[in-house]
Amino acid sequence: MTTRFSFSVTDELFHHLESAEEPMGIQLDLRLTGRLDEQKVEEAAYAAMRRHPLASVRQHPIQAGGRHYEWELIERADEDPVLLVECADDDAVSAARDSFYSRRLLLENAPPFRILIARNPGGDWLFFKMSQVVTDAAGAYRFLLSVMRIYAGVDDPQPDDIDVVKARHLGQEFGAKSVPDRLRRAQRLLGYLARSVQLPTRIAPHFGENKAGLSFVSHTFTAAETDALGRLRQGSATLNDVLATLVHLAVERWNLQRNESAGRITLMNVMNFRPITWRQEGVGNFSLWVNVATRESDRRSYDDALVAVTEQTRKYKSDETAGLLVDLLNLVQVLPSAVRKSLTNLMPLTGNFVVDTAVLNNLGRVPDIPDPAGKAGRISAIRFTPPTRMPMGVAVGVITLRGELTITFRYRRAQFDRFAAEAFRDNFLALLHELLEQAS
């Protein structure tokens, strides 16, 4: 494999969106019942890097007048990927988590991820942060799975037909193939843009602080409670459609309780476009983002809102829509890099000041992570969130491991303080319980 290769259009998009104050890092946390071996975690991380090219790169300096960004494969890390902190109690763990995820990963220094082991008397936490510039959330989970499999001493197989570096360039799969195809897509793309660049509702801030940084609140449903969520599905709706609908309705209720408007609510919803033969494989950016919107007339009832959401996601799952999104991102690739960066803040799909209310990313039922056993014990909790940036002050991450669904709300400190974030989560849970009671 070549030692240097170009950013994909999605790599570049997140690179341009990131700043020191708004880091684009994916959160994946594991709680263990015992104590991790720091040296063993580091050895597992290096072994996993050798299996996943995008976990072993640094950003190559762009040359003067250069048009494209490049990754450079490394043989030795510039910085230790595994860190450790001693925490006396749960409050210290939370402070360590917030500080860890609030700091930007410098992509000029390999590798593009970090692991923080937070020692705690009740069992260690493993915090894993990976840059969205190199991979989507599904890829970040796949890399963490490799680390934990290697740590546990079990097999970590991968499909033989994966060429991750090549496959990241989604235009080869979904881009327009002919002039008539380009003309037809251009017409549809104009309609998509017209719907997308409309001002969305903003989640009403509550006791937010005027500073950078982020934090998290979570809730885990038991396996029985997770199964019960399926009662809210109707027709062709997926569980992700149900969750998206609940977020729309929860934002509306939150805002109305604070005498704020709740007109057009939009979620940046992530869709995985990996080939079906390796849907849960591959470290790299293989996801695209769509705007799932509702208006007040769509939210007169849960049923109405679910229909509105489901109709949009059904269309977005088609290859045609994937092609439209790839075409949009490819439109600006002929421009110099400095111009492309300035255009990022004007484009849909970027989670910018025009487009969305919040972010939702559901990783679904993920492959099981083996328990490390021994002194590390077993895995007792998992948390996940995608990145977000103001004024989208909330990102919702959902992951289901061993039959239990965990939902985590990542919030910017400019949006909420801790008590407000817990109130927002509880508002979501109260709405969910009301609907479950009605469905029973």
| pLDDT-derived band at 346, boundaries 50, 70, 90 | very low
Q: Cβ of 177: how many Cβ atoms within 10 Å? A: 9
On average, the pLDDT of the chain sits at 86
Which ranges of 210-266 would DSSP assign to H, the alpha helix? 223-228, 239-257
Helices 9-17 and 337-344 meet at what angle, rounded to 10? 70
CB 284 within 8 A of CB 349: no
- pLDDT category, 350, cuts 50, 70, 90? very low
* pTM, 2 dp: 0.89
pLDDT tens digits along 49-68: 999 999 999 998 876 555 67
pLDDT in tens, 72-84: 999 889 999 999 9
For the ranges 109-123, 170-184, 332-346, the lowest mean pLDDT is seen at: 332-346
- Which of the four pLDDT bands, split at 50, 70 and 90, describes residue 196? low
Cα distance between residue 225 and residue 91, in whole Å: 28
Whether the pLDDT of residue 313 is over 80: the answer is yes
**Predicted pLDDT of residue 197:** 56
Q: Residue 425 gets which letter from DSSP?
A: H
Sign of dihedral through CA atoms 341, 343, 346, 349?
A: negative
SS3 211: coil
Cα dihedral 9, 334, 359, 133 sign: positive
State yes or no: pLDDT of 341 exceeds 70. no
DSSP letter assigned to residue 157: -
| pLDDT for residue 65 | 54
Cα–Cα distance, 1 to 18 (Å, whole number): 28
Tokens at residue 16, please?
């341009």
pLDDT score at 279: 81
Residue 391 CA to residue 358 CA, distance in Å, equals: 9
Edge-first strand listing for the sheet containing 57-60: 4-6, 70-73, 57-60
Q: Determine how many CB atoms are found less than 10 A away from the CB of residue 252.
A: 21
When mean pLDDT is compared over 113-117, 272-276, 329-333, the highest value belongs to 113-117
Q: Is the dihedral of CA 42, 26, 430, 316 positive or negative?
A: negative
Q: Which two tokens stand for residue 158?
A: 């991968």
Q: Which residues contact 338 (CB under 8 A, 6 or more apart)?
A: none
Q: What pLDDT digit, counting tens, does each position of 319-330 carry?
A: 555 555 565 555
pLDDT, mean of residues 211-238: 94
Going from the C-alpha of 54 to that of each of 22, 50, 387, the distances in angstroms are 22, 10, 19
Tens-place pLDDT, residues 272-290: 888 777 888 899 998 888 7
pLDDT-based confidence at 356, cuts 50/70/90?
confident
pLDDT of residue 389: 85
> Is the predicted pLDDT of residue 183 greater than 80, yes or no?
no
- Tell me: pLDDT of 400 over 90: yes
The predicted pLDDT at position 62 comes to 74
User: Residue written as tokens 């490799």?
Assistant: 146
Residue 368 structure tokens: 């099981």
Distance CA 372, CA 423 (A): 35
Residue 301 reports pLDDT greater than 80: yes
* 284: exposed, middle or buried (Cβ count in 10 Å: 0-12, 13-18, 19+): buried
CB 114 within 8 A of CB 96: no
pLDDT, position 328: 56
Question: Does residue 2 surpass a pLDDT of 70?
Answer: no
Residues 6+ apart with CB under 8 A from 140: 26, 28, 113, 128, 130, 283
- Is 377 a residue whose pLDDT tops 80? yes
Choose from 11-20, 80-89, 180-189 the range with maximum mean pLDDT: 80-89
Reported as a single tens digit per residue, the pLDDT across 7-51 is 888 888 888 888 888 899 999 999 999 999 999 999 999 999 999
Supply the pLDDT for residue 137: 96
Judge whether 56 and 50 are in contact, CB under 8 Å.
Answer: yes
> pLDDT at position 246, please?
98
- Cα separation of 168 and 170, whole Å? 6
- What the chain holds in terms of domains, given with CATH numbers, is 4-164 (3.30.559.10), 171-439 (3.30.559.30)
